[in-house]
Structure 1
Amino acid sequence: MKSPSQFRQLVSNLMSVCNLGIEKFGDETAYLVAMNNSMERMMYDMVVSPTGALDHDFVEMMTPHHRGAIDMAQNYLRFGSNEQLKRIAQEIIVDQQQEIAAMRLAIGEQLPPSVPAPTQVGKY
């Protein structure tokens, strides 16, 4: 079994290879870079050393997975054009945030204080 640091290096190497092919996509370059960055961050953050507390470890691995879905949905909202997919992306963001909160509460953790969404900063 690979150590967390070996796995992180493997993920980083794979994402670097993926980034090499981005040039051929022209207008999609910024979107693809953002998505690759989201995927790399998610994969890196999902590597959790077991603590012996199965419930805690599950939440620690699932939280970055859900945050990755949120990042990807936000990337689509930023770059996408299909209104139906944008609505779905908005639903994904809300659903994933609620699932993270539910998992944290299920293991007895307090929720962090609310903060404005990145698109709301400075509006209020």
Structure 2
Amino acid sequence: MSMWRRSSMFAVALAVGVAGGRFAGAGDDEKAFLDANAAAMDAMMAGMAIQPSGDVDADFAAMMIPHHEGAIAMAKAELQYGTNERLRRIAQEIIVEQQQEIAAMRLALASAPAKTAAATPPGGTP
């Protein structure tokens, strides 16, 4: 299972659990963990709510970068509050991989040729 899928599944499970009130009566560490994850989810969702630019590649990156930043924030919360060593290793991997993917998306956008206002059909002029 990919890191993206794992982090996405965790985020969905957490959101459902919080919305359903399953964490009422949580201890201090768990509450702090849930608060950190809720803040990460809120920031991620706000960041992903973009105005379309007309450039699919730019829009993809504009939505995926905050998505990856949310995964990083959630993984950092696991490292701060979690105790399961396997999950902590996965969280560390998520941080490294998501940071690399963010950098790769930014590089791809920076090195992409500028889009022109008028599209040029394949093999011809507009």
- CA separation of 1:39 and 1:19: change in aligned 2, threshold 3 A: farther
For 1:25-64, what aligned pairs fall within 5 Å after superposition? 25-27=26-28, 28-64=30-66
The letter for the 1-side match of 2:99 is Q
| Length, aligned pairs only | 94
CA RMSD of superposed structures (Å): 2.1
Distance 2:34 2:23 in 1: 7
Larger RCO: Structure 1 or Structure 2 (Cα < 8 Å, ≥ 6 residues apart)? 2
Distance 1:42 1:22 in 2: 21
In structure 1, the residue matched to 2:115 is none
Segments of 5+ residues of structure 1 without an aligned counterpart are: 1-13, 110-124
Secondary structure, aligned partner of 2:93: helix
Distance 2:84 2:23 in 1: 22
In structure 2, the residue matched to 1:91 is 93
For 1:1-124, what aligned pairs fall within 5 Å after superposition? 18=19, 22-27=23-28, 28-108=30-110
In structure 2, the residue matched to 1:113 is none
Distance 2:67 2:39 in 1: 14
Segments of 5+ residues of structure 2 without an aligned counterpart are: 1-14, 112-126
| Cα distance, 1:21 vs structure 2 | 6.3
Distance 2:76 2:35 in 1: 13
Judge conservation of contact 1:46–1:65 (CA < 8 Å) in 2.
yes
Q: What are the Cα deviations for residues 7-58 of structure 1, in whole angstroms up to 9, with x where unaligned?
A: xxxxxxx9xx849765422241111111111111111111000011111111
Percent of residue pairs bearing the same amino acid type = 53
Judge conservation of contact 1:77–1:89 (CA < 8 Å) in 2.
yes
The letter for the 2-side match of 1:85 is L
Q: What are the Cα deviations for residues 69-115 of structure 1, in whole angstroms up to 9, with x where unaligned?
A: 00000000000001111111111000000001111111126xxxxxx
| Rg comparison, structure with higher value | 2
TM-score normalised to structure 2 length? 0.67
TM-score normalised to structure 1 length? 0.68
